[in-house]
Amino acid sequence: MRKDTVVVAGGRPDHEHDAPVNPPVVLTSTYRGIGELDPADRTYARLTNPTWEAFEDVLAQLEEAPCPALSYASGLAAITAVLTLVPVGGTLVLPRHSYQGSVALAHTWQERGIFTVRTVDITDTEATSAALDGADMLWVESPTNPMLEIADVPALVRAAREKGVLTCVDNTFATPLLQRPLGVGADLVVHSATKYIAGHSDVLMGAVLCATPELRQRLHSQRSLEGGIPGPFEAWLALRGVRTLAVRVERSMATAAELARRLEAHPAVAHVRYPGLASDPGHERAAAQLQGGFGSVISVVPHGDVAAAERLLTDLRVWTPATSLGGVESLIERRRRHHDEPETVPENLLRLSVGIENVEDLWEDLRAGLDALADR
């Protein structure tokens, strides 16, 4: 079944007469049961919920995972769960440009003596592979947040496997429609389902997918003990969002590609990062790895200082200045407003999450602000 059909057909109730078309929201804290517990029993709502299960099944189909996904209360909760697989005293290899929550969490655990962090330029395959010596986990983002760098994911996964290193790929930006890391040998995939998966900026939720049932069972047991679980209504909202994932991503990618071309040509713009541009350093690699497009996020460095970038944001009327990404509305943010963002990210860099509005309205809004900068 093709992915744009899976998003609509997956996670539905059985095809029986008078069955509901959509899975229900199951609101319960416990389940009836007597006798000895069976591993398949639901038992208690911290272990599982039928509404989660529908979401977990469809996400597994999209990522082509051999077992259901695991749902978490947020993307960072999912990231936290995966990072606990790094043993105490172990080593995590982390891209220098990553989601700032991942970076902050990893360095916090390093400061507490839990594990050591080795920071790498994930686009440098040779240097990253060398950094895997004696490591326990390789963390991959591709495209990276917010610099949109492209890693050679298949090559890095092979190098990690040869050295006995677990690999986790944060696939939030690409979504399983464009990239399926388990298929090239990654051990784990993590999503902030808050973003493209749910797609409407009204849910906090995360997910992890595993290459083996054994790895999933390990994380499932941990989730059951630690309780980083979503509510059933959040899972239902996320599944509802999945239904339109393909059409939302198709629309937003087409708009992002057009906006990136126009931004690159504007005199007020110093630099544009978008893997779909032929001029982008990661374009060739992205074209080889991503299937069907280049994503819906653009990073822009305008001429001028931080104050100029902030003025641009203040005057926008269609774009919303806010953090996050992947929703139907277009968001824009100066990323260095977050103190945990690496200093290698330009202070005036703007990250644009392109939504599904009309491209001309989005461009007219941006152009007015950029024209004002160019006139100063």
Instruction: Specify whether 94 is located in the same domain as 222.
Output: yes
Catalytic residue among 57, 136, 152, 170: 170
Question: To 10 degrees, the CA torsion angle through 51, 55, 57, 62?
Answer: 170
12 assigned to active site: no
| pLDDT of amino acid 340 | 86
Instruction: Specify whether 83 is located in the same domain as 27.
Output: yes
Task: For residue 266, give the nearest of 296, 301, 294 by alpha carbon.
Answer: 301
Looking at 222, 242, 262, which one is the last position of a domain?
Answer: 242
pTM of the model: 0.96
Helix 232-242 and helix 50-63: axis angle, to 10°?
A: 30
Return d(Cα 348, Cα 146) in angstroms, integer. 12
Radius of gyration of the chain (CA): 21
Instruction: Specify whether 183 is located in the same domain as 45.
Output: yes
Return d(Cα 156, Cα 139) in angstroms, integer. 10
Mean pLDDT for back-to-back runs of 10 residues, the chain (376 residues): 96 93 96 91 94 97 98 98 98 96 96 98 98 98 98 98 98 98 98 98 98 98 95 97 98 98 97 98 98 97 95 95 97 94 94 98 97 82
Instruction: Specify whether 349 is located in the same domain as 221.
Output: no
Return d(Cα 305, Cα 67) in angstroms, integer. 49
Return d(Cα 346, Cα 336) in angstroms, integer. 7
Catalytic residue among 4, 12, 31, 46: 46
In angstroms, how far is the first alpha carbon of the chain from the final one?
Answer: 54
Instruction: Specify whether 178 is located in the same domain as 308.
Output: no
Domain membership of residue 162 as a residue range: 3-242
Contacts of 32 (CB under 8 A, 6+ apart): none
Catalytic residue among 3, 57, 72, 99: 99
Instruction: Specify whether 117 is located in the same domain as 218.
Output: yes
How many domains, the chain?
Answer: 2
Instruction: Specify whether 123 is located in the same domain as 170.
Output: yes
Given the structure tokens 């990893």, which residue do they identify?
106
User: Which CATH number do you get for residue 147?
Assistant: 3.40.640.10
User: Which CATH number do you get for residue 356?
Assistant: 3.90.1150.10
**Is the CB of residue 103 less than 8 Å from the CB of residue 342?**
yes
Give the largest CA-CA distance in the chain: 77
Looking at 242, 275, 307, which one is the last position of a domain?
Answer: 242
Instruction: Specify whether 70 is located in the same domain as 213.
Output: yes
Catalytic residue among 3, 180, 195, 336: 195
Instruction: Specify whether 213 is located in the same domain as 335.
Output: no
Give the Cβ contact number of residue 150 at 10 Å: 26
Categorise residue 207: left if φ over 0, alpha if ψ from -120 to 50, beta otherwise: beta
Residue 158 in 3-state DSSP?
helix
Instruction: Specify whether 182 is located in the same domain as 319.
Output: no
315 assigned to active site: no
**Is the CB of residue 296 less than 8 Å from the CB of residue 275?**
no
Decide the pairing of beta strands 166-170 and 188-192. parallel
Looking at 206, 222, 242, which one is the last position of a domain?
Answer: 242
163 assigned to active site: no
**Is the CB of residue 139 less than 8 Å from the CB of residue 98?**
yes
Instruction: Specify whether 363 is located in the same domain as 293.
Output: yes
Torsion angles phi and psi, residue 101, rounded to 5? -65, -40
| pLDDT of amino acid 374 | 81
Instruction: Specify whether 263 is located in the same domain as 341.
Output: yes
99 assigned to active site: yes
